Amino acid sequence: MDLSCYGERLLSSARFARSLDLPPPRPQPLPAREGNGYCCHSEGLGPPVGEAIFGKTILILWFGAIGMEIAKRLRPFGVKILATKRNWSSNTVSCDLDGLVDKKGGPEDMYELVQEADIVITCMTLNNESVGIVDHKFLSALKKGSYLINIARGRLLDYTAVFNHLESGHLGGLGIDVAWTEPFDPEDPILKFPNVIITPHVAGITELVVGDVALKLHAGEPFTKIEFVN
């Protein structure tokens, strides 16, 4: 997969994560129906059907290429951005951080930063150190009602910890494009929660990515930078 295709997948994942930042609207009853249309018998409009992210604090775990693109797309929404990265030296970041990240930290700061977050987005690589990194300790440090979004690898999240915090109501919502096992079991108990959104690992798939693969197959060209997961 060439760099242009990789870049499109990266940007697509960033757009997807930003879309999951927008909490789903709360279901509202339809007004009473009269004749061929609807009418409203109440002068009030009822409670807000959505929740704005303006003024919210968002923690990005990890500030790599995708994390940087997520931050760029979130900034216009008036959010405060926190981020973790192992090394913040200038030669490891390909953009000007001024005005993009409000507070930076390393791996040792994640438990402190998460206490401020309304939304956490995980976009880090999966390795021996990061397996289950979003665990009971991490989720317990979250403010009650905060949201968790995972667009990276399913096993970054400790399943039992996530399930228990959803069940207790401490975790306000979960949005994931990746699961602990794929394909995901449609009967998994975690899907019983109304505040869970799951998509089938398609955040990085666009017509440009599919077109690039099709052209390479047609031309008989070898694939590079292929990563096999799950």
In the residue annotation, 153 being an active-site residue is answered as yes
Catalytic, out of 18, 155, 165, 201: 201
In the residue annotation, 182 being an active-site residue is answered as yes
Give the tokens for residue 82: 């926190």
Looking at the DSSP bridge assignments, the partners of residue 150 are: 122, 176
Q: How far is it, in rounded angstroms, from Cα 161 to Cα 2? A: 38
User: CA neighbours within 13 Å on the CB side: how many for 104?
Assistant: 15
Contact assessment for residue 142 and residue 171, using Cβ atoms and an 8 Å cutoff: yes
Residues 91-126 as b/e (b if ≥16 CB within 10 A, e otherwise) read eebeeebeebbbebbeeeebeebbebbbbbbbbbee
Catalytic, out of 26, 112, 167, 182: 182
Catalytic, out of 18, 153, 155, 165: 153
- Residues identified as active-site: 153, 182, 201
